[in-house]
Structure 1
Amino acid sequence: MVTIKEIAKMAGVSRGTVDRVVNGRPGVNPETEKRIRTLMEDMGFRPNAAGQMLAARKRKLRLAFLIVHGPEHVFFLDILHAARDKAAELRELGVTVDFYLIRRFDRAYLERVLHEVEASEPDGVAALPLRIKPFLEFMERLNARKTPTVFFNIDEDFADHLCYVGCDYVQSGRVAAGLCALCTGEEGEVGVVTCDGPNSPSFTARMGGFTQELHDRHPGVTLADGGIPAVFRGDNYDPLDELLERNPQMTALYIVNLGDFNICRAARKAAEGRDLAIITNDLIPAQREMLRDGIISATVSQQPDVQGALPLQILYDLLVFGTAPQRKRYFTQLDIHIPQNT
């Protein structure tokens, strides 16, 4: 096994200098640090894990976790809870995780929150990426400082980041299409409903997978209104009612993005007297109840617990052990839930 002493000898520096590089302490010339790290890599040097963890305690690593929060973002509570549990584990290893809950999207508010993140000088950031200017500018500054960032839940490409942890939304849409085909006996009309608008990345990807799967494997299942979604906002479900009125032969409904999830009960009520299968995404406690009550026919979940915990673990492994993620995307498992397994 290669030792620090051997690395120091080959690099022509003191053991103390190599120790500072290994443990991430300042005071080493950048060119010298590069030479030492190259030698460590070439010679297969791997510091003692326990020693690294002890060094991490002394460094007092600080991570930032950014996530949206509010009544219209119910799904993200499960991610947040998992991240808080992971943060409690990391606290025992000397790592502090600061949580930043984004409650609004106006520029002044966002800039204030993001500047708070920067002021804390995090060693790494786990973030739900937002395709709005204050966040794009924030990412530019993080990347300029070479702060490692992991995106979760939404796979965006507008800024460099370490990796993504979250749902494969195209595949999620394909699974939903298969469920609709099963529920309609491979023949019938399916309507699409979504919250706020069809421009979100998750909606676009899911609908891409949904329509492609129907085209490839289920030609007997057609899309009501040509696949144009009924878009509802808040608790105004008029677009849903109109969709059902226009398409009396519709036998399945795919609710893509659910808002506060009350759309499910509204859909079942609006379809009273009709044999309508309702397929959704995610699995919050309210959906479990709706599955048991027959309001929802099936739903496709995406492991929010993994989306909360894994980004923090990836950052810890990188900062403490120098272990970079092995792939660019860590897709979470897609699970199908029906009344019988809920």
Structure 2
Amino acid sequence: MITIKDIAKEAKVSEGTVDRVLHNRGGVSKKTEAKIKKILKHHDFSVNPIASALAMKNKYFIATLIPEHNDLDLFWKSPYLGVLKAAEDVKSFGVQVTNFGYNQYDPNSYLNTFNALLETKPTAVIMVPNFSAETKKIVNQLEALNIPYLFVNIDIDGFNNIGFVGQDSYKAGYIAGKFMHLSLPNPSTFLIIQARHNITKNNAVSNRIKGFNDYFIKNKLDSTTQTLKIENLSSSTETKEKINSYLKNHPEIKGVFVPSSRIYIVVDCIEDNYLKQLECIGFDNTPQNIACLLNDSVSFLISQKPFDQGYEAIRLLTEYLLKNEISNTKHYLPIDILIKENVKYNERNEFNVVDV
């Protein structure tokens, strides 16, 4: 028997779009509506009124706990917009989504925002577990209330989350190491620049660094890595002095690896006479990072599809709420390697979407 999912796949639209056409809810272009209706007619598809009524009675409330975004750190805007898009698509299944944003550098903001979230009595929670100790406190409360939860972007072992959506961070770091080696095949020294707040809280960053180092170890290459830890990775005078002083004192460094979305800040801090001699690799297709790729100050960006992280998390948790099962507990997204020549084909337009 053909389903809404089958219709959506044939029409190349979301299931939510098909549902809006079926129930005359509007919000679909006339061209798309006509296309869907033609497919529906071809398959002699009709809505089961009993099943539809049951679906409308089942109300589920998903709450998301993800970092806030701003003009200097646009990475988290993309997962947020993915959540918004998915929230619209799952409305027809009786699922409502509410977003809660916290300061990713402040564990108290993380806990306080969660407490506000908990007051809404969610059916399930999607969260970015930025801080290990605070995550334990949050998870203990969720499990005591029998509220299922799913991790996004950062995967921490030892918890009973029903699933994870994000990048295989170790493999991504390993790939970064491989591309650094391809760029600099002779034995070289590479510098890993890491913000101190990531050292203890961000499992994804530490896994990328391990993957990067393991590439050279497992392939028995003579290249070595050094690490520069900076308290607050920003375009401040202090940060610039620290990075350039390090490069001056270590002329053997040929490449720079930034295992976070802030390589554009590092590039902005490095003096031109050093930058032109370096191969730089970073993460994420934020507008600032893409600008660095296009002006040749960054050689490669590794994209973890942040928009899809938000969208897929809502989709998978909805699947779990409706079916009491999840098809893939580790939902790893594709690892895209972006260069100057292909980045325009990878860019999404979510950064141009207006928040409402």
TM-score, structure 1 as length reference: 0.77
Aligned residue for 2:335? 334
Sort the Cα spacing of 1:148 and 1:335 in 2 relative to 1 into closer, same or farther, 3 A.
same
CA contact (8 A) 1:265 1:295 kept: no
Aligned residue for 1:289? 291
Sort the Cα spacing of 1:109 and 1:152 in 2 relative to 1 into closer, same or farther, 3 A.
closer
Aligned AA (1:293): N
Unaligned runs of 5+ in 1: 1-47
Q: Deviations over 1:259-312 (max 9, x none)?
A: 48322222363624x421111111112222211111111111111122101111
Whether 1:207 and 2:209 are equivalent positions in the alignment is: yes
- Deviation, structure 1 residue 107: 6.1
Aligned residue for 1:256? 259
Sort the Cα spacing of 1:152 and 1:110 in 2 relative to 1 into closer, same or farther, 3 A.
closer
DSSP-derived class of the 1:62 partner: strand
CA contact (8 A) 1:53 1:320 kept: no
CA contact (8 A) 1:66 1:100 kept: yes
CA contact (8 A) 1:73 1:260 kept: no
Aligned residue for 2:318? 316
Sort the Cα spacing of 1:189 and 1:88 in 2 relative to 1 into closer, same or farther, 3 A.
same
Q: Deviations over 1:15-57 (max 9, x none)?
A: xxxxxxxxxxxxxxxxxxxxxxxxxxxxxxxxx9985564232
Sort the Cα spacing of 1:185 and 1:130 in 2 relative to 1 into closer, same or farther, 3 A.
closer
How many residues get paired?
A: 291
Sort the Cα spacing of 1:321 and 1:232 in 2 relative to 1 into closer, same or farther, 3 A.
same
CA contact (8 A) 2:65 2:114 kept: no
- Deviation, structure 1 residue 222: 2.1
CA contact (8 A) 1:82 1:308 kept: yes
Partner Cα separation in structure 2 for residue 93 and residue 293 of structure 1: 46
CA contact (8 A) 1:194 1:230 kept: yes
Instruction: State which structure, 1 or 2, has the greater radius of gyration over its C-alpha atoms.
Output: 1
Aligned residue for 1:175? 175
Unaligned runs of 5+ in 2: 1-46, 344-356
DSSP-derived class of the 1:170 partner: helix
Sort the Cα spacing of 1:301 and 1:104 in 2 relative to 1 into closer, same or farther, 3 A.
closer
TM-score, structure 2 as length reference: 0.74
- Deviation, structure 1 residue 190: 1.1
Sort the Cα spacing of 1:105 and 1:208 in 2 relative to 1 into closer, same or farther, 3 A.
closer
RMSD: 2.5
Partner Cα separation in structure 1 for residue 192 and residue 263 of structure 2: 17
Identity fraction in percent: 18
DSSP-derived class of the 1:262 partner: helix
DSSP-derived class of the 2:327 partner: coil
Sort the Cα spacing of 1:151 and 1:270 in 2 relative to 1 into closer, same or farther, 3 A.
farther
- Deviation, structure 1 residue 129: 1.1
Aligned residue for 1:33? none
Sort the Cα spacing of 1:105 and 1:173 in 2 relative to 1 into closer, same or farther, 3 A.
closer
- Deviation, structure 1 residue 230: 3.8
Partner Cα separation in structure 1 for residue 51 and residue 313 of structure 2: 20
Counterparts in 2 of 1:1-342, with a 5 A limit?
54-71=53-70, 73-103=73-103, 109-197=109-197, 198-199=199-200, 200-217=202-219, 219-223=221-225, 227-233=226-232, 234-235=234-235, 236-259=239-262, 261-267=264-270, 269=272, 271-272=274-275, 274-322=276-324, 324-342=325-343
- Deviation, structure 1 residue 106: 5.1
Partner Cα separation in structure 2 for residue 299 and residue 63 of structure 1: 32
- Deviation, structure 1 residue 180: 0.7
Partner Cα separation in structure 2 for residue 49 and residue 137 of structure 1: 44
